[in-house]
């Protein structure tokens, strides 16, 4: 059965109540039935989630019962105004498992607090690339928003790039710097990568799965089995178990991030947004000395520039844009001019 797009209220396009997935569906008789109440507004047919997600729409009565159950148990309320889901949210048993798991996680709590530093920048970049804002919380699953995160597979940074993919998307990785740890540059690279994955698969779930498993792995499943539905791939065991878990984790992280108090994480003490100004300094500038001259701690300067290794500015021929606290922009520019003057003198003395 096909549904006209005009029949779908735009404010609710992000809510999908569809249950076949990686885990067993609960029995429908355990859900309340409200026969006379119109609840179908929360149901978005599968074909509007991902192409090829199924020929038949979900059972209408079951969808109404599920929506009634979620609504009565307070699972569809408390989301701040203007923060509706712009990524389709499927609520199934597998997602519910991670909702319960993340609700008790100190790491998730710390990650949400840390996210306050980067969210304004990430939202700006994702909007620039036309990505769903909800995809930002992929970083909560990947690294808990830590630029210092490193996986056993040597994926690094907030967006957990492996070196090959990082280089493919323009991030420099060498003995002087690792731009996978630069929050802004890596976010821009992640946005470009996710956009490319969506162009390839026309489905955000498959894009997320490809981000985890690699696009060649997902493309291989599609080519071999002619399946374009992530949930079917997961149910049939056609993807690694880590990837089968990954998409439900991203959905659960998105739900919790928007309403952490509802899910038992209490009031989050979000860190202040990242506030800095770039100042061009000569390559090789010692960060400890620069921080002392600015009368700030070297830790504060390193936190703004986590991509820099060995405490020295990378030896870029035309200089390096060092991030300094916004409140110190004026002093930093004066200090940078002094550094460049010293470079000129040294060059003359050592031709």
Q: What tens digit of pLDDT does each residue of 265-275 get?
A: 999 999 999 99
CA angle 82, 87, 92 (to 5 degrees): 115
Q: Give me the pLDDT at residue 317, please.
A: 84
Q: Give me the pLDDT at residue 72, please.
A: 55
Q: Give me the pLDDT at residue 68, please.
A: 53
pLDDT, one tens digit per residue, over 200-211 is: 998 889 999 999
User: Which letter does DSSP use for residue 174 in this model?
Assistant: S
pLDDT, one tens digit per residue, over 221-230 is: 999 999 988 9
Query: What three-state secondary structure class fits 18?
Result: coil
Full-model pTM: 0.78
Mean pLDDT of the chain: 80
Question: What is the pairing mode between strands 89-90 and 15-16?
Answer: parallel
Among 40-44, 70-74, 119-123, 312-316, where is mean pLDDT lowest?
A: 40-44
Instruction: Confirm if 60 and 43 have CB atoms less than 8 A apart.
Output: yes
Question: In angstroms, rounded to a whole number, what is the distance separating the alpha carbons of residues 226 and 208?
Answer: 19
pLDDT, one tens digit per residue, over 160-185 is: 999 999 999 999 999 999 999 999 99
User: Is residue 111 very low, low, confident or very high in pLDDT (cuts 50, 70, 90)?
Assistant: very high
User: Is residue 348 very low, low, confident or very high in pLDDT (cuts 50, 70, 90)?
Assistant: confident
Among 43-47, 146-150, 340-344, where is mean pLDDT lowest?
A: 43-47
Q: Tokens 């630069």 label which residue?
A: 182
Nearest to 46 by CA among 31, 57, 36: 57
CA 155 to chain centre: 15
DSSP secondary structure, 156-221, as one string: BTTTTB-HHHHHHTT--BSSSBBGGG-HHHHHHHHHHHHHHHHHHHS-HHHHHHHHHH-HHHHHHH
Nearest to 280 by CA among 293, 267, 290: 290
Where in the chain are the domains?
277-349
Among 19-33, 116-130, 239-253, where is mean pLDDT lowest?
A: 19-33
Query: What three-state secondary structure class fits 213?
Result: helix
């Amino acid at each position: 059965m096909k549904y006209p797009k005009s029949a779908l209220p735009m404010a609710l396009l992000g809510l999908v109540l569809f249950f076949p997935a990686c885990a067993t569906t609960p029995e429908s008789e355990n859900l309340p039935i409200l026969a006379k109440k119109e609840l179908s507004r929360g149901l978005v047919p599968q074909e509007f989630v991902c192409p090829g997600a199924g020929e038949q729409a979900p059972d209408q009565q079951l969808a109404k019962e599920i929506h009634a159950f979620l609504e009565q148990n307070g699972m569809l309320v408390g989301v701040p105004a203007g923060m509706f889901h712009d990524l389709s949210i499927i609520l199934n048993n597998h997602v519910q498992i991670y909702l319960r798991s993340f609700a008790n996680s100190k790491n998730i709590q710390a990650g949400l607090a840390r996210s306050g530093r980067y969210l304004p920048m990430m939202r700006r970049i994702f909007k620039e690339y036309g990505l769903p804002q909800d995809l930002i919380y992929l970083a909560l699953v990947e690294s808990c928003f830590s630029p210092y995160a490193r996986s056993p597979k040597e994926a690094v940074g907030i967006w957990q790039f492996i070196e090959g993919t990082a280089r493919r998307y323009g991030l420099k990785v060498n003995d002087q710097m690792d731009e996978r740890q630069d929050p802004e540059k890596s976010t821009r690279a992640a946005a470009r990568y996710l956009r490319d994955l969506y162009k390839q698969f026309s489905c955000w779930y498959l894009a997320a799965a490809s981000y985890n498993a690699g696009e060649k792995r997902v493309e291989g499943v599609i080519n071999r089995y002619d399946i374009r539905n992530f949930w079917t791939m997961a149910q049939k065991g056609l993807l690694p178990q880590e990837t089968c878990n990954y998409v439900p984790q991203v959905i659960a992280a998105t739900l919790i991030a928007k309403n952490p108090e509802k899910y038992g994480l209490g009031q989050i003490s979000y860190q202040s947004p990242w506030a800095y100004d770039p100042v061009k300094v000569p390559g090789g500038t010692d960060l400890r000395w620069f921080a002392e001259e600015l009368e700030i701690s070297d830790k504060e300067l390193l936190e703004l520039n986590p991509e820099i290794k060995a405490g020295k500015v990378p030896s870029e021929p035309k200089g390096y844009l060092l991030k300094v606290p916004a409140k110190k922009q004026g002093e930093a520019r004066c200090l940078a001019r002094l550094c460049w003057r010293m470079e000129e003198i040294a060059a003359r003395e050592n031709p």
